[in-house]
Amino acid sequence: MVETVFAPWEDPNASPLISFKNVTKRFGTFVAIDDLTLDIYEQEFFALLGPSGCGKTTMMRMLAGFENPSEGSMSLSGQDIAGIPPNKRAVNMMFQSYALFPHLSVWENIAFGLRRDGVAKDALSARVDEMLKLTRLEKFARRKPHQISGGQRQRVALARSLAKAPKLLLLDEPLGALDKKLRQDTQFELMDIQEKTGTTFVIVTHDQEEAMTVASRVAVMDEGRIVQVATPQKIYEAPDSIYVADFIGDVNILTGPVKATGAETYTLDFGGAAPVVATSERPFSDGQTGHLAIRPEKIGIHAERPDAPNTVQGKVLDIAYLGNLSTYYVELPNAQIIKAQTANTQRISRRAFTWEDPVWVSWSATAGVLLDQ
C-alpha cells in the first residue's frame, strides 16, 4: 500500500480553501501587504513566519475580517470574503493575548460563540464538554480566567475558538506567552488537535522552530511580501534566497563568481585557496555572482585534510558548547568565518579541538545550496 502524502498544494486539481489574489493592504502611506498571492488548502497547518512588522499579523487580521484589503481579492471556499464582517465568517481566531472574557467562567467562555449562534441547550453543553475534554480542562470549567495558569488559559482560548467548528482557525502567536518547556509540549498538542478536528490552521509566529515543528507548509514573509512558501524541510534544505536561508536556522554564506564545470555542477571562487564545488539545479552563467549557503551541521571539522570535494583550512576562533551540539567558529585565511557543528554523541570525551588549533573544514558538493539572490 502506498501511503499518500498530504500535499494538496502539488495537486493541480485541488481547490484552495483560502485564496489571496494580488492583495495589497495600505495603512496611510505604509504598505503592510504588497501584492500578495497565496493559496491555502483544507486541513493544512499553515505557518506565517517573519520578523515583527513583516505583515503577518495584518494578513491574519484580514482573514478574520478585522481589516479589509485595499486592493485585490480574498476568497474562502470560493466565496469572496472582502467586506464580510468578522461575525459573519466561518473563521475563528485565537488571540495572542487570548482575550478571554474575564467576567465569564471557562465554561461560559467556550460557550460564548455557540450561544451567539443560538445552539440548543443540550447540543451546546455537549459541545462545550467535548471541547473541555479535548483540551483537558474538565476540572477548570467553573473557574474564572484569572484563577487558572497561563497554559490553561491558552487551552481555554483554543477551545473557545474551536467550539464553533470553524472552517479556518487563525492562531496569532498562540504559544508566545508560554515558557519554553510548556511551549514544546503545547506544539504537539496543537498538532494533535489539528489532526483530530481536521480544521485548517493558520498560525502566525516569529519563532522559526515553532513554525517548523507544527506546520505542513511555512510561508516566510518580509516587508509585506511572501519570500518563499514550502514545506519546512524544503524551506530549510532548499531555501530560494539568502533571506530565507539566513532567517531559518544557522547558515554559512560563501559569495563569489560562479563557473560551470559540467551539468548542474559549478565552482564558486569565494576568495579562498581554491574554488569550491557545488551542484545546483538553478542555472548560472559564467562569472555570475553566486551565494553558496551551507548549514553548519553539514560541515565536518578535522585535524588532517580529509578526502572531500571541498576542503578549506583555517583555525578555531571560538567554540560554542550547546550541550547536544558544539559549534566551532573557524576563521579562514581570507578572514571569513565558517561555522561547523558537531554532535556530542559521547558523554565523556575530550574535545578534539581547542582555540587557535589549525583545522580543516570540509563538505560535499551537494551540502550547500547555490543562490543567486
Partner 1 sequence: MKRAVLIAVPYFWLLALFMIPFLIVFKISLSDAALAIPPYMPTMKEGLGAMLSQLDFENFIFLTEDDLYWKAYLSSLKIAFISTVFTFLVGYPIAYAMARAPTQWRATLMMLIILPFWTSFLIRVYAWVGILSTEGLLNRFLMWIGIISDPLIILNTSTAVYIGIVYTYVPFMILPIYAALERLDESLIEAAEDLGCSRMKAFWLITVPLSKGGIIAGCFLVFIPALGEFVIPSLLGGSGTLMIGKVLFEEFFSNRDWPVASAVAVILLIILIIPIILFQRNEQRQQEAEE
Phi first, then psi: give them for residue 264, nearest 5 degrees.
60, 20
Q: Is 142 in the site for partner 1 (CB under 8 A)?
A: no
Task: List Cα–Cα distances, 158 to 177, 197, 241, in angstroms.
Answer: 14, 12, 35
Q: Is 84 in the site for partner 1 (CB under 8 A)?
A: no
In terms of CB distance, is 66 or 321 closer to partner 1? 66
Residue of 285, 203, 282 whose CA lies nearest to 238: 282
Q: Is 329 in the site for partner 1 (CB under 8 A)?
A: no
Question: In the range 174-203, which residues lie near partner 1 by CB under 8 A?
Answer: none
With CB under 8 A as the contact rule, the residue among 4, 13, 29, 87 that binds partner 1 is: 87
In terms of CB distance, is 85 or 287 closer to partner 1? 85
Question: In the range 254-273, which residues lie near partner 1 by CB under 8 A?
Answer: none
User: Quick check: 273 and 333 in contact, CB under 8 A?
Assistant: yes
Question: In the range 95-124, which residues lie near partner 1 by CB under 8 A?
Answer: 95-97, 99, 101-103, 112-113, 116-117
In terms of CB distance, is 65 or 296 closer to partner 1? 65
Size of the site for partner 1 (CB under 8 A): 24
Cell 498538532: give the residue. Answer: 191
In terms of CB distance, is 52 or 87 closer to partner 1? 87
DSSP 283-297: ---TT-EEEEEE-GG
In terms of CB distance, is 87 or 285 closer to partner 1? 87
User: Quick check: 351 and 326 in contact, CB under 8 A?
Assistant: yes
In terms of CB distance, is 121 or 180 closer to partner 1? 121
User: Quick check: 248 and 239 in contact, CB under 8 A?
Assistant: yes
Cell 511572501: give the residue. Answer: 226
Please tell me whether residue 298 adopts helix, strand or coil conformation: helix
Considering only the stretches 82-90, 257-265, 284-292, 304-312, report the one whose residues sit in contact with partner 1 under the rule CB under 8 A: 82-90
Q: Is 27 in the site for partner 1 (CB under 8 A)?
A: no
Q: Is 52 in the site for partner 1 (CB under 8 A)?
A: no
CB-based burial label for 68 (10 Å; 0-12, 13-18, 19+): middle
Phi first, then psi: give them for residue 213, nearest 5 degrees.
-65, -50
For residue 112, the minimal CB distance to partner 1 (Å) is 5
Considering only the stretches 38-46, 61-69, 211-219, 313-321, report the one whose residues sit in contact with partner 1 under the rule CB under 8 A: 61-69
Q: Is 6 in the site for partner 1 (CB under 8 A)?
A: no
Q: Is 276 in the site for partner 1 (CB under 8 A)?
A: no
Q: Is 30 in the site for partner 1 (CB under 8 A)?
A: no
User: Quick check: 272 and 333 in contact, CB under 8 A?
Assistant: yes
For residue 182, the minimal CB distance to partner 1 (Å) is 22
For residue 111, the minimal CB distance to partner 1 (Å) is 10
Considering only the stretches 52-60, 86-94, 197-205, 308-316, report the one whose residues sit in contact with partner 1 under the rule CB under 8 A: 86-94
Say how many C-beta atoms besides its own lie within 10 A of residue 164's C-beta: 19
Considering only the stretches 58-66, 179-187, 247-255, 272-280, report the one whose residues sit in contact with partner 1 under the rule CB under 8 A: 58-66
Q: Say how far apart CA 218 and CA 216 lie, in whole Å.
A: 7
The contact pattern for partner 1, residues 155-174, with x = CB under 8 A and - = no contact, is -----xx--x----------
For residue 144, the minimal CB distance to partner 1 (Å) is 8
Q: Name the helix (H) or strand (E) containing 185.
A: helix 180-197
For residue 199, the minimal CB distance to partner 1 (Å) is 15
In terms of CB distance, is 146 or 180 closer to partner 1? 146
Residue of 318, 362, 321 whose CA lies nearest to 344: 321
Alpha helices in the chain (DSSP H): 56-64, 106-116, 121-134, 150-162, 180-197, 208-214, 232-237, 242-247
Sheet strands side by side (includes 265-268):
276-279, 265-268, 252-262, 289-294, 368-371
| CA dihedral over 308, 310, 313, 318, signed as positive or negative | negative
Binding site for partner 1 (CB under 8 A): 64-66, 85-87, 91-93, 95-97, 99, 101-103, 112-113, 116-117, 146, 160-161, 164
